[in-house]
Amino acid sequence: MINSSVIQYIAIAWMGVAVILFPFLLKITPPYGRHSKNNWGPMIDNRLGWVLMEFPSLLIFVLLVLLGPHKPTSPVWVLFGLWAIHYINRSVIFPLRTKTKGKKMPVVIMLSAIFFNLINAGLNGYWLGFTSPGYPANWLTSPQFIIGGMIFITGFVINQSADKKLISLRKESNAGYFIPVGGLFNYISCPNFFGEIIEWSGFAIMAWSLPALSFAVWTAANLIPRALDHHKWYRGYFKEGYPESRKAVIPFLL
């Protein structure tokens, strides 16, 4: 069994990789979704790709927490539930809701996402199931858990609300693109990404662990460049019609 110190060192190294790669991620536009291209090798159906790349995060995390020698306490069950809710939505519900029939993504993008998810789920699941010093019942009332939980829920609501708005704009699979308005869309182009960054920041505070922090860092490192790409695309696609004051992912800042 890998001990606690090793898992924490791996989490630190994983965060270091995020910091090193972040400048490169700012210069690369992954070719899926509205940025889709067919010059990155074999393609796979967009919805199937989503399921295949997100479901491993749910599966690995669940198995490690449930099969580990540490019997889950009530705070761990809450963390378990939040992770499961997010990834059940992301790997099953979200692909079924999206109106992207006929769209494809490169297999290499799917495989890289699987790798990313396996590391994050592996670190966090192994920490909770095997190596953490424990989360006693009174952790439920700790400031970290309460504040982190409120932040997570806030991010989840923002993410879900933004996804609902974006899906509603696509009344038909080939209906084209529209400028989303209302709520945080009045301030940023990608409140769905903003919400997810907030979610996992809250989770990191709740778990108060390096594996959870590494996931929050990687979420920001992945989604901030993606949001900047989306924002640039919106401005180019809608030309003069896109709101000048709207930022990409953080209201009034970025």
Query: What pLDDT digit, counting tens, does each position of 74-103 carry?
Result: 999 999 999 999 999 999 988 888 766 678
- Return the percentage of the chain with pLDDT > 90, whole number: 65
Phi, psi of 247 (to 5 degrees): -90, 180
Compute the distance between CA of residue 88 and CA of residue 253 in angstroms, rounded to an integer: 32
Q: Which residues pair with 106 in a beta bridge?
A: 43
Q: How confident is the model at residue 241 (pLDDT cuts 50, 70, 90)?
A: confident
Q: What angle, 0 to 180 degrees and rounded to 10, lies between the N-to-C axes of helices 107-126 and 46-67?
A: 20
Is the model more confident about 41 or about 222?
A: 222
Compute the distance between CA of residue 95 and CA of residue 53 in angstroms, rounded to an integer: 11
Residue 85 structure tokens:
């809710």
Q: How confident is the model at residue 172 (pLDDT cuts 50, 70, 90)?
A: very low
Task: Note the pLDDT of residue 40.
Answer: 73
CB atoms within 10 A of CB 237: 13
Task: Note the pLDDT of residue 189.
Answer: 94
Compute the distance between CA of residue 30 and CA of residue 26 in angstroms, rounded to an integer: 10
Task: Note the pLDDT of residue 2.
Answer: 84
Compute the distance between CA of residue 171 and CA of residue 164 in angstroms, rounded to an integer: 12
Residue 173 has pLDDT above 90, yes or no: no
- Condensed to tens digits (0 to 9), the pLDDT of residues 189-233 reads 999 999 999 999 999 999 999 999 999 999 999 999 999 999 999
**CB-CB contact of 33 with 227 (8 Å):** no
